[in-house]
């Protein structure tokens, strides 16, 4: 292929990746080393209260933000190095918690609490999504042709629903007097509060994520099943291989590149879990790394945002994603080299 033709096809994609991915990432990385704060000044304020025969006045020194000529609060930006990362990680409190052997004390630190849930959520849902997606694909592939269309349509419905809407739907089914909560209370004869503790909320989140993402894995696996070598399957049947043996030694090895692809997509998406936190309103019990970054960007009572800490939190999230992807990328690279 000529270079001009290659550049014509690849150039627009590279340009869009540079503008919308690389440059924002560089900006976030640089902002994590700088801290922007409003400029305050000390002023004397005299407060008088009515009195007889004279008013009582008290003079106090108060701090107030300095206003610029444009009517906005003046700010100053200073280089803080790794201080924002230290503020997010709170290593001093981590050392104290480890010294005391207190897991609860460690989980009171926002970043480590969010990291624990994010890793648990990601690593538990990954095998479930792959197993459920493959099971649905095998079931549809072995079903009668007249049933495949309706089954595929119904299976794809959870994936079509907007993530926040789907999370809110599950939330409304179980919160308060939701339909499923009321049914369980009538069946067990006990009051049930699904959102009063963290572990039940996490179970619902896990269920929702698998329900929402498994259809994506199902579509990929179903397409892959259409390319399985039928001669190899027939040979395995003739040799007396059981269904489990055919699945283990023929189908799964054939689908391994697709399994790695689904794992890559799922890890990148699931490690940035955010919709479930908002949809299930779990901030009091469960938070994620992505939600923590969002919380840093939420203005406080004075209208200030912790942009430096939010940038540091975002970069730490990116580093975590990279570490999770390294084993899969190494496996993909080895397979690629072995095929040549």
Residue 120: predicted pLDDT: 93
State whether residue 58 is helix, strand or coil: strand
* Mean local confidence (pLDDT), 108-123: 93
The mean-pLDDT minimum among 111-115, 187-191, 210-214, 284-288 falls in 187-191
> Could you name the CATH architecture of 103-338?
Orthogonal Bundle (1.10)
% of the chain surpassing 70 pLDDT: 97
d(CA 112, CA 109): 6
Residue ranges of alpha helices (H) inside 18-101 are 23-31, 83-89, 91-100
Residue 20 contacts by C-beta under 8 Å, 6 or more apart in sequence?
Answer: none
State whether residue 224 is helix, strand or coil: helix
* The model scores a pTM over 0.75: yes
Instruction: Report the candidate in 184, 131, 155, 172 with the shortest Cα–Cα distance to residue 281.
Output: 172
Measured between alpha carbons, how far is residue 35 from residues 113, 130, 216, 290, 310 in Å? Answer: 24, 43, 41, 20, 11
Residue 246: predicted pLDDT: 87
Residue 63: predicted pLDDT: 75
Question: Where in the chain are all domains bearing CATH 1.10.3720.10?
Answer: 103-338
Residue 302: predicted pLDDT: 64
How high does pLDDT run on average in the chain? 86
**C-beta of residue 216 within 8 angstroms of C-beta of residue 159:** yes
In the numeric block, which tokens belong to residue 128? 């479930």
The mean-pLDDT minimum among 184-193, 241-250, 284-293 falls in 184-193
pLDDT band at 233 (very low <50, low <70, confident <90, very high): confident
* Residue that the structure tokens 């890559």 belong to: 264
**C-beta of residue 125 within 8 angstroms of C-beta of residue 210:** yes
Write out pLDDT tens, residues 238-272.
888 888 888 888 889 999 999 999 999 999 889 98
């Amino acid at each position: 292929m000529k270079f001009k033709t290659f550049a014509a096809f690849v150039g627009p994609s590279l340009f869009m990746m540079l503008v919308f991915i690389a440059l924002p990432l560089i900006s976030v990385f640089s902002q994590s080393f700088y801290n922007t704060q409003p400029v305050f000044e000390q002023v004397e304020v005299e407060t008088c209260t009515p009195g007889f025969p004279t008013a009582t006045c008290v003079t106090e020194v108060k701090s107030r933000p300095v206003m610029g000529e444009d009517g906005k609060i003046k700010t100053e930006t200073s280089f803080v190095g790794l201080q924002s990362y230290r503020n997010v990680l709170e290593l001093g409190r981590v050392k104290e918690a480890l010294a005391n052997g207190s897991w609860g004390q460690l989980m009171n630190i926002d970043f480590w609490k969010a990291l624990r849930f994010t890793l648990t959520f990601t690593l538990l849902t990954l095998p479930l999504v792959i197993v459920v997606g493959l099971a649905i694909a095998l079931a549809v592939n072995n079903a009668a042709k007249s049933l495949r269309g309706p089954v595929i349509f119904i299976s794809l419905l959870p994936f079509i629903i907007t993530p926040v809407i789907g999370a809110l739907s599950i939330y409304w089914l179980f919160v308060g007097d939701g339909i499923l909560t009321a049914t369980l209370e009538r069946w067990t004869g006990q009051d049930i509060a699904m959102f009063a503790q963290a572990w039940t909320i996490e179970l619902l989140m896990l269920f929702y994520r698998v329900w929402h993402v498994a259809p994506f894995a199902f579509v990929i696996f179903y397409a892959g099943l259409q390319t399985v070598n039928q001669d190899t399957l027939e040979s395995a049947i003739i040799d007396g291989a059981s269904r489990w043996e055919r699945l283990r030694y023929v189908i799964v090895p054939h689908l391994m590149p697709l399994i790695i692809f689904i794992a890559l997509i799922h890890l990148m998406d699931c490690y940035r879990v955010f919709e479930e936190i908002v949809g299930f309103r779990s901030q009091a019990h469960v938070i994620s790394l992505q939600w923590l970054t969002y919380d840093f960007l939420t203005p406080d009572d004075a209208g200030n945002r912790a942009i430096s800490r939010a940038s540091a939190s975002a970069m730490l999230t990116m580093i975590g994603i990279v570490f999770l992807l390294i084993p899969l990328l190494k496996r993909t690279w080895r397979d690629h080299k072995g095929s040549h």
